Amino acid sequence: MPPTRLDDQPAAPSRRAAAPPATVTVVLVARDPHDTGRLLGSLLSQRRPPDRVVLVDASLDGLGDTDDLLDPVDDAGIEVLRTRIGTGTGSRRALQRVVEALPEAGQGRDLLWVLPSRAVPHPKSLDQLVAAARPGVGVAAPKLVDVEAPRRLVRFGIQATRAGRLVPDPRPDALDQGQYDELGGRDLLAAPLEGALLDRAVLVELGGHRARLGEVGADLDLGWRAQRAGHRVVGVPGARVALTPTAAEHRPSGAHRRQARRAAMAHASLPTRLLRGPWLALLTTLTALGLLLAKRPDLARDEISQLPAFLSPSSYRGTRTSPREVSRSHLDALFVTPATARQALADDLRGERGADGVDARSLEAERSGGWLTHPLPWLLLAPQLAITVVFFLWPAAQAVRQSFLRQDAFGINTTFVGLSNFKALWSSPEYLNSLQVTVVFAVAVTVLSMGFALLLAVAVDRMIRSTSIYTTL
């Protein structure tokens, strides 16, 4: 029987004899035919099979004829619907379109299980997720593992500080040693869309994902809004979904870090944004400089990549409000604390991992966190920092301040004049002449000295004898 198109007439109820307590619809975002077939096979092996499957063709050239892929699913008594989206449409926008076009479930709760074609769920995953998705739960998140190495963890929820700093836990390439099994049913701040089981009614109530925030930003924002609206986001470690991880899932990319920062800015009040944005920009810059001094340009690059989130005007625009049933203070336990974030940065700075991929924190729980948290390095740096502040930074700040003031001859009375001093300076012929002479002198000295040095270097390169003498000169 050919599959039904999503925009056709509403499909008939599932042919299952016994009505399930919830109707589960798998939203399969397909980008590769081979991976899609593998995922459909794993759905058929689920201990609790889904009731409907919506095949969302998101491949570049189209999947072509999918009847051979979908016939076994239809023969198993599972409704099959399909639709196609443009290649530039992300999974979050595709989910919103599916929610708008999908017929409502006739009975029970309407749950959506979002799976990319690169995913392979464990046979008990759906059963575990449905059991965890009790009333009051908006999102149930599985444990994501590497399909090539099932013992290697990829993600288990999204962890961030209230300011939006991503602090992945599990750490990159950490092994699954059962360390999260005791956290079953524990609330998470948010969860990645891949593999998550969502309550359709909650998704409609919240207005779906804010796709403009990007993948990680939209997922973080949705979980944040769900928790504020009184709908829990729970982790289900017994539900395992293996997938082929991307590079950004091994370690958050610069784009993902910016997205998380923007999502956090969107949840702050306007006065808080105006204060937090410049402060975080300064703090991020200083952290990046410290990491460069520590000879870790890779970590400094991660810090610098977050700056556009604080400098972009879009981060300071208001967003549409969502239902708020829970106070901000009640969500404090869901955020990563600043101390934990500093500890994670210290672990990254040391770059120490065990041979089996376990990160430094699990191997060195006794340690204090490296030089970022130890007082001795800061005490050794304190004299030089004090000299720099007193004799360089403070005079420079005073000079900038006084450039906006006008004083009398005795320096007793001052008047704020704004940019008048600068206007007078740029209209002064003497200053413009001295500026021109300075520029000409600097350019001439640089060109002549570098040009002469280049000629000497070329000459020395062609010399056979006395090369070392000319090189020294």
Cis peptide before 21 (omega within 30 of 0): no
What are 114's strand-pairing partners? Answer: 27
Kindly report, residue by residue over 247-304, the tens digit of the pLDDT: 788 788 889 999 999 999 988 888 888 888 888 888 888 888 888 888 888 888 889 8
> Which residue carries 């899609």 as its tokens?
36
Q: Which two tokens stand for residue 63?
A: 């999947």
**Residue 11 pLDDT:** 41
Look-up of token digits 């979002």: 114
Using DSSP, state whether 138 is helix, strand or coil. Answer: strand
Give dist(CA 223, CA 426) in Å, integer: 53
Calculate the average pLDDT of the chain: 81
Six-digit token pair at 325?
């049933």
Give residue 259's Cα distance to chain centre.
5
Judge contact between 337 and 165, C-beta under 8 A. Answer: no
**What local confidence, expressed as pLDDT, does residue 367 receive?**
40
Residue % of the chain over a pLDDT of 70 = 84
User: Residue 152: what are its φ and ψ, rounded to 5°?
Assistant: -95, 120
pLDDT at 184: 62
Q: Which long-range contacts (CB under 8 A, 24 or more apart) does 414-418 make?
A: none
The three-class DSSP label of residue 133 is coil
Torsion of Cα atoms, 231 then 235 then 239 then 240, to 10°: 130
The predicted model scores a pTM of 0.70
The model's pLDDT over 86-106, given as tens digits with 9 standing for 90+, comes to 666 778 888 888 888 888 877
Tell me phi and psi for residue 89, to 5 degrees. Answer: -90, 125
Query: Could you read off the pLDDT of 428-454 as tens digits, one per residue?
Result: 888 888 889 999 998 888 888 888 887
| Interatomic CA distance for residues 253 and 302, integer angstroms | 8
